[in-house]
């Protein structure tokens, strides 16, 4: 069973594309969602994040995402420390999930495959991309964010052209009907490789 990574910058539509693959019966693991779940449910992660960032890391409702984001924004080094706490748990969770799957390939959506030099963990990689304006508008609509915040995230991410150059497949996700066609074509190509 092949492991196919799906990546792309903020607002590119990774999750939308992953759902399209899911409609073909392909199991999908969304690393960011699972990381957030683990950050809320794992006592070990909770303890380590509080030790790193303080009691404000959690509220009665769970993970305090806005507080953590503000701390990372002030100190970029914190991101790698948080990743060092969370990623090993996500990796273990993924490995257990993977063993339960039965398909020609699975899709693992992860925003920072290239940033963390994790290409070797995948048999193939798909990058989802879209025009910058489209991405900005999607994030503003989805998160209630503002243009300035979205642009600062985009500027902090690896440029799209770098991701595209390192990928096996690229999906241009500006128009959903065109995206569906691209997903179907790539799905067929990957099945042939399986």
**What are the C-alpha distances in Å from 141 to residues 136, 146, 166, 193?**
9, 9, 29, 37
Question: What does the block give as tokens for 81?
Answer: 């420390």
- In this predicted structure, what is the pLDDT of residue 180? 97
Is residue 13 located within the same domain as residue 91? no
- Decide: 2 and 122 in contact? Cβ < 8 Å: no
Residue 112: which residues within 8 A CB-CB, separation 6 or more? 7, 118
Is residue 93 located within the same domain as residue 130? no
Alpha carbon 133 to its chain's center = 20
Report the CATH number at residue 148: 3.40.50.300
Is residue 93 located within the same domain as residue 105? no
The model's pLDDT over 86-144, given as tens digits with 9 standing for 90+, comes to 989 999 999 999 999 999 999 999 988 998 899 999 999 999 999 999 999 999 999 88
Other C-beta atoms closer than 10 Å to the C-beta of 24 total: 14
**Average pLDDT, stretch 59-78?**
87
- In this predicted structure, what is the pLDDT of residue 79? 85
- What is the number of structural domains in the chain? 2
pTM: 0.88
- In this predicted structure, what is the pLDDT of residue 156? 81
Let me know if 108 is exposed, middle or buried by CB neighbors in 10 A (0-12, 13-18, 19+): buried
The model's pLDDT over 71-83, given as tens digits with 9 standing for 90+, comes to 887 887 898 899 8
What domain range is 62 assigned to? 34-98
- In this predicted structure, what is the pLDDT of residue 153? 84
Domain boundary among 80, 98, 116: 98
The model's pLDDT over 25-55, given as tens digits with 9 standing for 90+, comes to 999 999 989 999 999 999 999 999 999 999 9
Residue 171's beta-bridge partner residues?
A: 128
Is residue 106 located within the same domain as residue 80? no
Asked whether the predicted pLDDT for residue 59 surpasses 90, the reply is yes
Is residue 110 located within the same domain as residue 168? yes
Is residue 108 located within the same domain as residue 56? no
- In this predicted structure, what is the pLDDT of residue 77? 86
Angstrom distance (rounded) from CA 78 to CA 72:
6
Other C-beta atoms closer than 10 Å to the C-beta of 67 total: 16
Is residue 160 located within the same domain as residue 91? no
């Amino acid at each position: 069973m092949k492991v196919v990574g799906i990546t792309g910058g903020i607002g590119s539509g990774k999750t939308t594309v992953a759902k399209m693959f899911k409609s073909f019966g392909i199991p999908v693991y969304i690393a960011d969602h699972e990381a957030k779940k683990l950050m809320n449910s794992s006592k070990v992660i909770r303890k380590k994040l509080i030790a790193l960032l303080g009691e404000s890391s959690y509220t009665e409702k769970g993970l305090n995402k806005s507080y953590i984001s503000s701390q990372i924004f002030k100190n970029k080094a914190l991101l790698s420390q948080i990743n060092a706490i969370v990623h090993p748990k996500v990796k273990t969770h993924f490995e257990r999930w993977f063993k339960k799957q039965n398909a020609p390939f699975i899709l693992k959506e992860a925003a920072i495959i290239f940033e963390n030099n994790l290409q070797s963990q995948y048999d193939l990689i798909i990058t989802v991309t879209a025009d910058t304006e489209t991405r900005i508008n999607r994030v503003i609509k989805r998160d209630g964010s503002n243009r300035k915040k979205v642009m600062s995230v985009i500027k902090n991410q690896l440029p799209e052209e770098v991701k595209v150059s390192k990928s096996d497949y690229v999906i241009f996700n500006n128009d959903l009907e065109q995206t569906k066609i691209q997903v179907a074509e790539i799905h067929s190509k990957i099945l042939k490789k399986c």
